[in-house]
Amino acid sequence: MNIVILSRNPHLYSTKRLVEEGLIRGHEIEVIDPLKCDIIIESEKPTIYYKDRYLDYVDAIIPRIGASITFFGCAVVRQFEMMGAFTTVTSDSILRSRDKLRCFQRLSKADIGMPKTVFTNYSRDVEEVISHVGGTPVVIKLLEGTQGLGVVLAETKNAAESVLEAFNGLQARALVQEYIAESKGADLRVFIVDHQVVGAMKRQGKEGEFRSNLHRGGSANLIKLTVPEIQLAIRAAKALKLPVCGVDMLQSKRGPLILEVNSSPGLEGIEAATQKNIARAIITYIERNRK
């Protein structure tokens, strides 16, 4: 099978691991930078031109689309879909997960637990917004932030007002979210492949840091999930139609709460913490589902 990994950097751990496992299983694997693709739109034969050739031989793709290239990256994924290639995540599902407001609205419709969340365009309504999520402290998130960037803990009303005014001044849309104090700077990353849990870890933020992202100095350890945590992660992935994803959740007094669903989760932390071959699970998922 000819499998293309859409990635801007072939040297990233996740990209290299997918290449390794694909080759081990006897596939032709190619890493392609989506920003260097030309999309040729025709009614009879839509295709993609990359460097010196047409990519009309591709059987399946694994999108590794970063937040900064979501628009064009999804256009490339969509073109491969039009060409009949199988994809581990669709262009629509990537877009659904990247927009936090849209993501939370879909999760809410599916009756999936999450921290109380408010979206507003008016910073002068800060006091009312804060009351909707139960008072300070609150977490303020940019709608399209990633890896902990654009996430701020505001411990007072004045701090929350200042942050929202700053974001509004930059024309950056943001959510205000309930702060789950009992999580103590930790969250769970649950890795889903083919709508099944294939690995899970508990991420702990470094001292004095409420964000648990490994990119921000957090640590990770293997964890055994409870049945409600497993069920919630799978339901969240299905609600967003993401057969391959990373589901982040918090442990709270009222049960597990969904924090985020990542359509392009990294493999390094989860494979190190769980000692499981997640890359192979993704390749075998393609093998089972490629028509």
Q: In this model, does residue 227 exceed pLDDT 70?
A: yes
Rounded to two decimals, the pTM is 0.88
Burial 74-87 (b: 16+ CB within 10 A, else e): bebbbbbbebebbb
SS3 92: helix
Task: Tell me which H or E stretch contains 22.
Answer: helix 13-24
Residue 162: is its pLDDT beyond 90? Answer: no
Mean pLDDT across the chain, nearest whole number?
A: 89
Could you report the per-residue pLDDT of 101-143, keeping only the tens digit for each?
889 999 999 999 999 998 877 666 777 888 888 888 999 888 7
Query: What's the one-letter identity of residue 31?
Result: V
Rounded Cα gap, residues 100 and 107, in angstroms: 10
Contacts by 96-99, CB closer than 8 A, 24 or more apart = 96/240, 96/241, 96/242, 97/240, 97/242, 97/245, 97/261, 97/262, 97/263, 98/67, 98/70, 98/144, 98/263, 99/143, 99/144
pLDDT at 207 over 70: no
pLDDT at residue 212 is higher than 80? no
Report how far residue 223's alpha carbon sits from residue 178's, in angstroms, rounded to the nearest whole number: 25
Q: What is the pLDDT of residue 123?
A: 60
Q: Which amino acid is at 283?
A: I
Which tokens sit at 167? 């974001």
CA distance 111 to 258: 11
Count of residues in the chain: 291
**Model pLDDT for residues 15-50, shown as the tens digit of each residue:** 999 999 999 999 999 999 999 999 999 888 899 999
Residue 46 has phi, psi (to 5 degrees) of -65, 140
CA distances to 151, 158, 178 from 126, rounded to whole Å, are 17, 9, 13
Location of structure tokens 């072939």:
10
Q: Domains in the chain, start-ordered, CATH in brackets?
A: 2-95 (3.40.50.20), 117-179 (3.30.1490.20), 182-289 (3.30.470.20)
Residue type, 146: T
251: β partners? 256
> Is the pLDDT assigned to residue 256 strictly greater than 70?
yes
